[in-house]
Amino acid sequence: MKNISKIVLSVFLVGLLMFSSCDSFLEEEFRSGITTDNFFNNDAEAQLAVNGLYRILHSGALYRQRGIDDFYTHGADVVAASRNVNGTVHNYLIAEGVGDGYGTWNRLYELARNSALFLASVDGNENLSEAARNQAVGEILFMRALCYYHLTNIWGDVPYFRELPSNEELSTITRSPKAEIRADMKEDLARAITLLPTSYSGSDLGRASKWAATMLKAKFHLLDSEWQPCLTECKSIIDNSPHRLLDNFADVFDQSDPANQYNNEHIFVVDFTSDPVSNIDGSTTRTDDYNPRIRDEPANRGANAVDENGNPVLKPNGTQMKNWEYFQSLLQAQNEDMTGYGWSVPLPELADKNNWQEGDLRYDATIVTEYIGWKLNFPYFRKNWNLDQENSLRGNHPENYIVFRMGDVYLMAAEAENELNGPENAYQYVNKLRERAFEPDQPWSGMSQEDFRLAIRDERKFELCAEGHRRMDLIRWGILLDVVKTVKHRSWNNPADNIQPKHVKYPIPLQELELNPALLDTDPTNNGYR
């Protein structure tokens, strides 16, 4: 981890060149003799630098484990822990130096620093072909915007720079207004949209496209309640992009075949690839959070096992199996097992099918409460688990993190249209999603603007739960505290007792304040935490 005030750029560049990756579009032959003084002399070197930015997203403090999920998915009304773990997040025990997101802060500023460095070296560089230069600039602008998207979402006003500051400048930098940062990011993304390819194929799958930049720009507008530009960007994706809603909701999340993990609904993903020989950071451990532990499952796991005819199930030594042993043997017979951490499970209200609209096919694709005929002790997110013991091993999973997809585009378009003009023209967007969610179809109609406004909140929960959107949705609607205080939690979590208005933001990490007290100049309270 690097502090924002301590940069080792030349080491990072060399690290990019020497890093061995299993993600195909990150693979590059090492080019000996490249330094910060002679870098970016050709297209391959520029692409190699950009590949390094993607690599930062693989950090455990971002997308590889639960880094980003702690800020976006946990601490709301969807996901919590299956036992007394991760309590600082779930129970809102956050303070300066305690769960203040220091690791995530550092990784995001690593991305910001290197984006600034690379952009200055690539933009206008005549050593590069026009096509390579345009794509590299577009990708860097996207990555920087994604970085500040997270920084402003989590901490609000934050240190901001467009050109790489000196160490001295970084040691005294102050916070810039969130609105100023986001305005610049929207302009940058508008430029990126003109520079990036519309799609990729083969080994380039996973790179940021024109439509990824359009989606990120729409998200910024959504967060700022800028309804017309949000709708404009969403309609551009719907009308012009190659992306579309899949016919089957469950297929959106099907990554059982490591060679076929992309589909037309995915707009931007963080691409992870497992190594069958050794565990490298090209793989993800986030899946383990959603995979059950066999020590928890199934329900009534310690009872003596009997088969479907009521006969005792015996081990080779003649003793009777317990339920969990028999259950595990059935899993293993189909090359599966429950080897995860079991941390991230649905909260009781979401797991209860009675709280979903009757006939919603998304429930069974999202929630699992029994498996291969056995009732489970906990509910789990089927959309985020993978029990495959051949291609998706504990600590070494290849599942991509789906950051943006078309389902969200349609919901954003529906919300924006309703806020602008009422529900009449908004139905077309939400009903497009509901066509695949229900059989027979159950479209919306006859709502007031306020009815639609409230209904879209639940529709986003059911469509997008455990995908990294819920907490920011509740914050932008101004209802995070009310929801957290009223939703049912399990006995080991008590967020309703602790959550306060300040918790819509995190405090600037204490270690950063110790390095740079100027970060308190514009807000001595540190977002209300002192």
Cα 485 to chain centroid, rounded: 24
Write out pLDDT tens, residues 113-123.
Answer: 999 999 999 99
Q: Give me the pLDDT at residue 282, please.
A: 84
Name the average pLDDT for the chain: 92
Residue listed under structure tokens 């400048």: 169
pLDDT above 80: residue 13: no
CA dist 399 and 258 (Å) reads 8
Of 504, 497, 498, 496, the C-alpha closest to 479 is 504
Kindly state the tokens that stand for 293: 């532990």
Higher pLDDT, 34 or 518: 518
The predicted model gives 389-406 an average pLDDT of 96
- Phi and psi dihedrals of 235, rounded to 5? -65, -35
Count CA within 13 A, CB hemisphere, residue 58: 24
Q: Is 365 helix (H, G, I), strand (E, B) or coil?
A: helix
Of 292, 290, 272, 297, the C-alpha closest to 282 is 272
The CA-atom distances, in angstroms, between 405 and each of 213, 248, 269, 282, 478 are 12, 14, 9, 22, 24
Kindly state the tokens that stand for 434: 């509901």
Cβ(203)–Cβ(392) under 8 Å? no
Count CA within 13 A, CB hemisphere, residue 88: 11
Q: Give me the pLDDT at residue 16, please.
A: 42
37: pLDDT confidence band, cut at 50, 70 and 90?
Answer: low
Kindly state the tokens that stand for 267: 């707009």
CA dist 337 and 389 (Å) reads 7
The predicted model gives 259-270 an average pLDDT of 96
Count CA within 13 A, CB hemisphere, residue 169: 9
Which of 178-184's residues contact partners 24+ apart within 8 Å by CB, and which partners? 178/152, 179/224, 181/148, 181/151, 181/152, 182/148, 182/152, 182/220, 182/223, 182/224, 184/160
The predicted model gives 61-68 an average pLDDT of 95
| Secondary structure tally for the chain: helices H, strands E | 21, 6
Of 189, 36, 199, the C-alpha closest to 118 is 36
40: pLDDT confidence band, cut at 50, 70 and 90?
Answer: confident
pLDDT above 90: residue 309: yes
H/E element, 114? helix 102-122
Write out pLDDT tens, residues 267-306.
Answer: 999 999 986 555 556 899 999 999 999 999 999 999 999 9
Kindly state the tokens that stand for 516: 């740079």
Q: Give me the pLDDT at residue 346, please.
A: 98
CA dist 473 and 355 (Å) reads 20
Kindly state the tokens that stand for 93: 């025990």
Query: Which range, of 202-211, 268-277, 412-421, averages the lowest pLDDT?
Result: 268-277
Domain boundaries, the chain: 286-399
Percent of the chain whose predicted confidence (pLDDT) is above 90: 89
Residue listed under structure tokens 């930049």: 213
**What is the CB neighbour count within 10 angstroms for residue 159?**
23
Kindly state the tokens that stand for 422: 């009422």
pLDDT above 50: residue 21: no
Kindly write down the DSSP assignment for every residue of 242-295, as one continuous string. S----SSGGGGG---STT----TTEEEEE-----SSS--TTSBSHHHHHSPBTT
Q: What is the CA radius of gyration of the chain?
A: 24
Cα 334 to chain centroid, rounded: 30
Of 383, 173, 399, 163, the C-alpha closest to 272 is 399
**What is the CB neighbour count within 10 angstroms for residue 237?**
23
The predicted model gives 392-408 an average pLDDT of 96
CA dist 206 and 294 (Å) reads 33
**What is the CB neighbour count within 10 angstroms for residue 492?**
14
Q: Beta strands of 14-61 (E only): which ranges? A: none
8-state DSSP, 508: P
CA dist 289 and 287 (Å) reads 5
Kindly write down the DSSP assignment for every residue of 399-439, as one continuous string. --EEEEEHHHHHHHHHHHHHHHH-STTTHHHHHHHHHHHBS
Residue 69: burial class (beta carbons within 10 Å; 0-12, 13-18, 19+): buried
Kindly state the tokens that stand for 291: 């995979």
pLDDT above 50: residue 108: yes
311 sits in the region (left: phi over 0; alpha: psi -120 to 50; else beta) called beta
Q: Which amino acid is at 315?
A: K
The predicted model gives 335-341 an average pLDDT of 97
Exposure string for 389-425, b = 16+ CB within 10 A, e = fewer: eebbbbebbbbbbbbbbbbbbbbbbbbbbbbeeebee
Q: Which amino acid is at 527?
A: N
The predicted model gives 251-267 an average pLDDT of 95
Q: Give me the pLDDT at residue 281, please.
A: 62
How far from each other are the two terminal CA atoms of the chain, in whole angstroms? 26
Write out pLDDT tens, residues 341-354.
Answer: 999 999 999 999 99
